[in-house]
Amino acid sequence: MGGSMNGGRLMGRSERYKWWIFAAVLGTVLGLDLATKSWALHDLHPHGPTRYLFGWLPLTLHFNTGGLWGVGQGSVSRWVFSIATVGALWLLIHLYRRTSFARPFRMVAIPMIAAGALGNLVDRLRWDHGVVDFIGPFDLGFMQWPIFNVADMA
């Protein structure tokens, strides 16, 4: 009947199209994240001076061994956050499977979040330096906004 199997059930055209959207968004965001991190590693220097793109966007190479805002610094956190990321990815795939075309924002947001999680997971698994961050810091007047990357934006 024109469908392929997915978890013991037939997958129709609209279901396949939905997963193509997932793959396209995830691939685009993940590719952008990995490419910009590669650029930062080659063109910025750790502990080097902040460079400014367009005269206002600060770029500073930093390696974050913890999580959000530097929570959980240390070598053990690398594996804790990696395992947590795999669990989060499983949950995101489950949520996406249940998402209908009536929720277009959700159909784009979930693969963006998954791509961000995968981008930072790649850094955690490839070395013990931590996640490559390079955008920032931003002085908000009342606080310094931490350095982040494309995966964090997603």
- Active-site residue set: 133, 152
In terms of Cα–Cα distance, which of 106, 103, 121 is closest to 33? Answer: 121
* Six-digit token string for 119: 């981008």
Q: Are 86 and 125 in contact (CB under 8 A)?
A: no
Amino acid at 129: H
* Six-digit token string for 23: 């793959």
CA-to-CA distance for 121 and 15, rounded, in angstroms?
27
